[in-house]
Amino acid sequence: MDTSIKTALNKAKRKQLLKTVIISIIVVIILLPILYKTGNYFASKSSSRLHEQLFLHNAIAGPNIQINSQVTSNSSMFGGNIITNRSKNINGYLVQWSTLTSSYSWLRMKIDHNELTPGFYSSETDFYEYDKQTKNKVATFYHPSIQEYDDGIQNELKEVSQMENYVAEVAISFYKPYTLKEIQANIPDNLNIVWLYMTSPIVDESNGPMGMPVYGFDPSDAPMEAYKSFIDALEKYDAIGNNETIQEFLNLNKKKQFNEVKILGIMLTGQTKNFKALENKDFIRGASVGAIAQIVPYIKPEK
Predicted pLDDT of residue 44: 83
Q: pLDDT-derived band of residue 53, with 50, 70 and 90 as boundaries?
A: very high
Q: Does residue 43 surpass a pLDDT of 80?
A: no
Q: Does residue 39 surpass a pLDDT of 60?
A: no
Axis crossing angle, helix 3-61 with helix 223-237, rounded to the nearest 10:
150
The whole-chain average pLDDT of the chain stands at: 91
12 secondary structure, DSSP code = H
Strands 79-90 and 93-105: antiparallel
Predicted pLDDT of residue 202: 93
Buried/exposed code over 218-237 (b: 16+ C-beta within 10 A; e: otherwise): bbeeebeebbebbbebbeeb
Predicted pLDDT of residue 7: 63
Phi, psi torsion values for 91, nearest 5 degrees: 55, 45
Predicted pLDDT of residue 21: 66
Q: Does residue 23 surpass a pLDDT of 90?
A: no
Q: pLDDT-derived band of residue 38, with 50, 70 and 90 as boundaries?
A: low
246-293, pLDDT tens digit by residue?
A: 999 999 999 999 999 999 999 999 999 999 999 999 999 999 999 999
Predicted pLDDT of residue 207: 83
Q: Does residue 1 surpass a pLDDT of 60?
A: no
Predicted pLDDT of residue 76: 81
Q: pLDDT-derived band of residue 8, with 50, 70 and 90 as boundaries?
A: low
Q: Does residue 13 surpass a pLDDT of 80?
A: no
Predicted pLDDT of residue 167: 98
Q: pLDDT-derived band of residue 77, with 50, 70 and 90 as boundaries?
A: confident
CA distance 169 to 63: 10
Q: pLDDT-derived band of residue 166, with 50, 70 and 90 as boundaries?
A: very high
Predicted pLDDT of residue 34: 65
Predicted pLDDT of residue 124: 84
